[in-house]
Structure 1
């Protein structure tokens, strides 16, 4: 490792690298294109900073005079881009790096002036970087390394065309790093098109999906969804919590409800200006607010300290979104809770999303009013107030209270004052919880093969209706579906085989 980089890490108190940082800095990977599976909070920003250092610095410990950028780092949101810029700023400080940013919501003229002055590393969001390229205000001819941070989120947000345009404008001999929490087919195709002999990197901590997060699926009656959210927030009393909704309307409604109930809450949704957004995030960081209600798009890339609780007020539409939402907590060794609020009609959807995400959740009731009150009592009795010595300034008042009131009166007054600080929990209706039943034995069956597989983008969702329609059978007649590289295998109930063969014919 270069001395300037090592010194910067030492000043920040780094005694050991995280697994992903160790993986991408192996000597045999120096200068190689990398496709890295890395969760938010795994130290990936410093990881790719270390991975591109040999490419940028070469044989030297410091960078030369700044001019056209040597590296591009592209992130899905302005918040993440600015966070990356801060991290790389201290990492490359001793190397003499000048960094510039190109992000939506900022003054483009200031960015043009910064680019004209020269920079070694440019951190950008896709849309704004494309604007600069088309206006001729950035020179990409000297780029040696490109990093796509949270590449899957950028594709989810519709930036594929922008990313392809940007990559096509950079030199073909560049080092390209793709960092992504998940690696769906779209990411694999992007890697295949724009990387050269890329090394796939996945660390042990990412293979055990979100090991520091406790997933809890909470069944509630349909009318109790919002009441359950209030109780979950009250039960955990996390230093910071984020509540995810699927629509702006739900964000607005839930924010108003929580505010009326006394929660210190902010909202994040698409219609906010950059200033309003920054103020909301700052309120969470400095403790003025403890609950953030947000849509998925608005919360992309945000990083909040002490975020111990994620609540899914509405179920996400995909398992990737579930992982992105939940990945906001359980970071850097801290434990976190991801609570899914599930009404009876959405149970199967919740089970399906958890299964596709390869996650196991505890199916439990949402905290009742009694549960919240019991937890409050535990918190109250374990408060530091009971262990703190009485100060000289407090002594006279304490003596006066003891002389004037009975212990019961003092305790009752303390209890009332304690309860005033918190919103009262809600009474929830009873919900019968049934554990998922294991699938019954399929019985005697025959396996058939189909001449398309993973390489032809085959999937159970695509094959199931096709086989049912062609063979005139129902989905109940189909057992397992196995997808191989160029073949797929379908299990069909023995009793339905004769009719199936008749329907599809000899060919």
Structure 2
């Protein structure tokens, strides 16, 4: 479905930016049938809502005119929770309204208020800002709201979470009562509903969180790692995906500083974003990401909220967030407006249950695996080099002449080796990781299929990691369930929903017997390869040698002490 825009210049701006079809929220909010109604909209982050409300305000601001009349007192106000989101909204609305002559200003904390004062005095069509700074300009008489015809609250739930309720109520109370109010929120808690009831007039409720494929364009991966190797795992994840741009989230400013330094030391083009940085430093970091001078941004949640980086293909949760909503907001930096992206959670063993709870709360399913190893990354580097277009492009005569000179006295293997060394220049070296014990067989199974020791017989137990299974629990469970000593049990491979275990050929019949004679509360056991194993009841002596079939040995009598 193509965009439906009444204004030809705005339509041209969309076409120049490559917008051909609206996202679900854009189609719903910009529907001409809504007229000038107030809107209460639920939409996920990254759904294209800035362009959505920009288009929704076109009839309100232009009223059928082709162009904006020129800088006057503001006609629209957009309120955002953070400086970064406000600056992002400014960039989006500036190009959307630019061809039609619209002037968009920002008023945000951390910027020079005197410069903003002068800009407001020169006139604007739309003002975008954070609640505190907008209120300050209004109280000082610098921001005139008499002619406002539209007010947008972007990420209203986040503004309330950050404590801006009083500022929002002041702003809405100081604007014309006949204004159009568009309220956007990822969730609609009771506080948002009360705010909407108080300041909106018969608002039309639009919910695109169910129809909007907010997670469909994000591939979630949960990687099990050793708890003390987070920095090394981040290095390997960045090297494995080689994304055009990536953002790595940490929980604290100190963690951002530490990881930023570690990545910088290893040769990554990396910048940092944290609350202690000045606005100028933050702007410089984001500019470096946008123009390609930096490819990795290490950030805290607050510093990164609302930022929109082009070609951001990878989000790494180096430290897990505290709730599913933050997980969604973090991951939503990628996979935006139809672009594909990957979100990676680094999960130490002690944080596995928390990670599963976060994923379930966010309504997403992640693929669980181990972190990429140095060997796997080097192999992938070789595959990338072999598929590089430079090896298939038609060489120029100048290229051939240089090639002939280089080939003098050198073999083809030597030249290829030199090419490989050249290709590796500037690539940070992958890290050698300690692969968690439970992860090693899973990685082998994924790559090569099961490996078994000669003569061993494999069985399947119907419990896995999601049931809390660990080797220290599984081993005595097998011994008790199958009535065999632990010396008869070999490798144990714990998966997400089941466990594979190997037993000696001598014990296989006893395990099959236990499997066939389980009670209602017993954990089911079955042959791993589907081939039946003949049940053969057997008891084992203390020296480990099985007793003859049909003549089970009695367990040794325990001596009772009296007295």
Give the TM-score category using the shorter length.
0.7 to 0.9
Q: CA deviation at 1:176?
A: 0.9
Equivalent residue number for residue 229 of structure 2: 224
The structure 2 residue matched to 1:71, chosen from 76, 80, 96, is: 76
Partner Cα separation in structure 1 for residue 71 and residue 406 of structure 2: 69
Equivalent residue number for residue 436 of structure 1: 466
Q: CA deviation at 1:10?
A: 4.1
Q: Please say which structure displays the higher CA radius of gyration.
A: 2
Partner Cα separation in structure 1 for residue 413 and residue 67 of structure 2: 70
Q: CA deviation at 1:277?
A: 1.1
Equivalent residue number for residue 291 of structure 2: 286
Q: How does 1:410-429 map to 2 (within 5 A)?
A: 410-429=415-434
CA contact (8 A) 1:33 1:176 kept: yes
Tell me: higher relative CO, structure 1 or 2? Use CA pairs within 8 A at least 6 residues apart: 1
CA contact (8 A) 1:19 1:203 kept: yes
Equivalent residue number for residue 408 of structure 1: 413
CA contact (8 A) 2:23 2:337 kept: no
Q: How does 1:126-141 map to 2 (within 5 A)?
A: 126-141=131-146
Partner Cα separation in structure 2 for residue 203 and residue 233 of structure 1: 33
In structure 1, the gaps of 5 or more residues are: 440-507
Q: CA deviation at 1:321?
A: 0.7
Task: State the Cα deviation string for residues 457-477 of structure 1 (Å, max 9, x = none).
Answer: xxxxxxxxxxxxxxxxxxxxx
CA contact (8 A) 2:84 2:304 kept: no
Partner Cα separation in structure 1 for residue 428 and residue 101 of structure 2: 52
The structure 2 residue matched to 1:254, chosen from 250, 255, 259, is: 259
SS at match of 1:398: helix
Partner Cα separation in structure 1 for residue 428 and residue 8 of structure 2: 54
SS at match of 1:309: strand
Partner Cα separation in structure 2 for residue 303 and residue 339 of structure 1: 18
Number of aligned residues:
439
| Residues 206 and 249 (structure 1), Cα distance of their counterparts in 2 relative to 1, 3 Å cut | farther
| Residues 315 and 416 (structure 1), Cα distance of their counterparts in 2 relative to 1, 3 Å cut | same
CA contact (8 A) 1:244 1:294 kept: yes
CA contact (8 A) 2:40 2:206 kept: yes
SS at match of 2:420: helix
CA contact (8 A) 1:45 1:87 kept: yes
| Residues 94 and 290 (structure 1), Cα distance of their counterparts in 2 relative to 1, 3 Å cut | closer
CA contact (8 A) 1:220 1:341 kept: yes
Q: CA deviation at 1:335?
A: 1.2
Equivalent residue number for residue 45 of structure 1: 50
**What TM-score comes out, normalization by structure 2 length?**
0.74
The structure 2 residue matched to 1:245, chosen from 228, 250, 265, is: 250
SS at match of 1:227: helix
Q: Is the aligned partner of 1:313 residue 2:318? A: yes
Equivalent residue number for residue 349 of structure 1: 354
SS at match of 2:333: coil
The CA RMSD measured in Å over matched residues stands at: 2.2
Q: CA deviation at 1:205?
A: 7.0
Q: Is the aligned partner of 1:21 residue 2:21? A: no
Q: CA deviation at 1:242?
A: 0.4
Q: Is the aligned partner of 1:5 residue 2:10? A: yes
Equivalent residue number for residue 462 of structure 1: none
Equivalent residue number for residue 374 of structure 2: 369
Equivalent residue number for residue 81 of structure 1: 86
SS at match of 1:342: strand
Equivalent residue number for residue 147 of structure 1: 152
CA contact (8 A) 1:38 1:206 kept: no
CA contact (8 A) 2:43 2:212 kept: no
CA contact (8 A) 1:141 1:171 kept: yes
Task: State the Cα deviation string for residues 287-319 of structure 1 (Å, max 9, x = none).
Answer: 111111000111122111111100000001111
**What TM-score comes out, normalization by structure 1 length?**
0.81
Task: State the Cα deviation string for residues 34-72 of structure 1 (Å, max 9, x = none).
Answer: 122233333222210111222223354444454332210
Q: How does 1:433-472 map to 2 (within 5 A)?
A: 434-437=464-467
Which piece of structure 1 moves more, 132-141 or 65-74? 65-74
SS at match of 1:67: coil
Q: Is the aligned partner of 1:296 residue 2:301? A: yes
In structure 2, the gaps of 5 or more residues are: 1-5, 440-463, 470-563
| Residues 14 and 409 (structure 1), Cα distance of their counterparts in 2 relative to 1, 3 Å cut | closer
